[in-house]
Amino acid sequence: MVGPLAIGSVWVLVPTYNERENLALVVPRIRQSLPDATILVIDDGSPDGTGELADAMARTDARVRVLHRTAKEGLARAYAAGFARAIEDGAEVVIQMDADGSHDPAVLPRLLEAIDAGADLVLGSRYVRGGGAVDWPLLRRLVSLGGNLYAQAVLWLPYRDLTGGFKAWRADLLKAVDPQTVVASGYVFQIELTWRAHRAGARIRELPITFVERRFGESKMSGSIFLEAAREVLRMRLARWRAPARWRSQTTA
């Protein structure tokens, strides 16, 4: 049971593009795991009717909200818009997760328990003891592991899963890392936000999760996303990004 978090302060962000079949399954499971959370579906103008389904869900559940975006601009821009909406509307903890069923909503209470125990950012990790991935082809496993090892080595980060998208943030840390200013549009966005949180002195914890390959729809991964990640990780290594002084003073007080 999560203690001091106020009712209604937890937001779960679910970005979508052509995820109608998956969304119909994942939203009820989120609601079952976190009955009082606000679920924000961020839809990038899906032509398959995902946004319309989300609207129908919102009409029957006051805690489901929908942010419609008119163009597909990548995961980073969708999340940045969702983070801004959640913070503006008073979120204290913001959770990000995939819409395709890869992330098990049953894990959500564990993420919040780690926040309640003092973490500022909790990473759902496939690569710590107890974590894993199911139904992945060998090539994808090798690419994922290689990408994480590359980011760890270049950025000098101790976290085993930097590319995952199942995370829980304290809202004040999320504001400090300023997602709106991240340049990358693909999955390297996940690496950069964790890197910024680390540089800010945040208390970051990894929890084991099992990643399950999607049942419906097509993966959004592509060769261009991997190339962007390789380039942007090097850019981060050379960057001079600094956390706001106010956040640093809070974490060291």
Q: Is the pLDDT of residue 246 over 70?
A: no
Helix (H) or strand (E) holding 225, with range, is: helix 223-238
- In a domain? residue 114: yes
Q: Is the pLDDT of residue 99 over 90?
A: yes
How remote is the C-alpha of 90 from its chain's centroid? 18
Question: Domain residues for 238?
Answer: 10-243
- In a domain? residue 252: no
Instruction: Write down the pLDDT at residue 5.
Output: 54
**CATH number, domain with residue 225:** 3.90.550.10
CA atoms within 13 A on the CB side of 25: 14
- In a domain? residue 2: no
SS3 state at 196: helix
Band of pLDDT at residue 145, cut at 50, 70 and 90: confident
Q: Is the pLDDT of residue 2 over 50?
A: no
Measured in degrees and rounded to the nearest 5, phi and psi for residue 224 equal -65, -30
- In a domain? residue 39: yes
Nearest to 30 by CA among 92, 108, 90: 108
Instruction: Write down the pLDDT at residue 3.
Output: 45
- Cα dist from 189 to 31, 118, 230, 232, 240, whole Å: 27, 24, 12, 9, 17
pTM beyond cutoff 0.85:
yes
Report the domain count for the chain. 1
Helix (H) or strand (E) holding 59, with range, is: helix 50-60
- In a domain? residue 161: yes
β-pairing, 210-212 vs 132-134, is parallel
More confident residue, 27 or 220: 27
- In a domain? residue 5: no
Sign of the alpha-carbon dihedral angle for 78, 134, 168, 239: negative
